[in-house]
Amino acid sequence: MISFFFTLQWMPFGAAVSIKYLSPIFAAIIAIFFSDYIVELLFERQKFTTEDSYTVSSIQKILLVYAPFTVCGMVLVNFLTSINKNSFMAYLAFGSMILNFILDFWLVKEYGLFGIAICTSCIYIIRSIVLFKYTVNQKNK
């Protein structure tokens, strides 16, 4: 794994960035496809039934959707911190928290435990999109 990231420094910048953003997408897709098997292999024992495995793997699949957005968000946060836009990120974090509470209450009533996972994924995706748009606007100034 270390050698993989070490070789990125000798690649052209565009190719390295593409690998950095595409690898979480491919990893998430592979993990979503094998989620049922992974959960069954690791957790299905005497007290963990097939139904429990299905519930856990379904929640895991929902949460894996936001993995690529998390990587993108971390890079954008580092960039915005470097140009001293911490106040915007504080407002965004506060807004995300409020939206998280609202969506949690609404989605938990509709979908139960799955609603919490859906809410978390939606918040991360929305937050990453807002960070990206703000970063692009900062570049155009």
- Strand (E) or helix (H) holding 100: helix 86-111
User: Buried b / exposed e across 80-101, counting CB within 10 Å, b at 16+?
Assistant: beeeebeeebeebeeeeeeebe
pLDDT surpasses 90 at 24:
no
Q: How far apart are CA 128 and CA 67, in angstroms?
A: 11
Domain-by-domain residue ranges, the chain? 1-64, 65-141
Phi and psi at residue 24, to the nearest 5°: -65, -30
Task: Give 3-state DSSP helix, strand, coil % of the chain, rounded to 5.
Answer: 90, 0, 10
Q: What is the pLDDT of residues 48-94, one digit of tens each?
A: 888 888 888 999 999 999 888 888 888 888 888 888 889 999 999 99
Using a cut of 0.85, tell me whether the model's pTM lies above it.
Answer: no
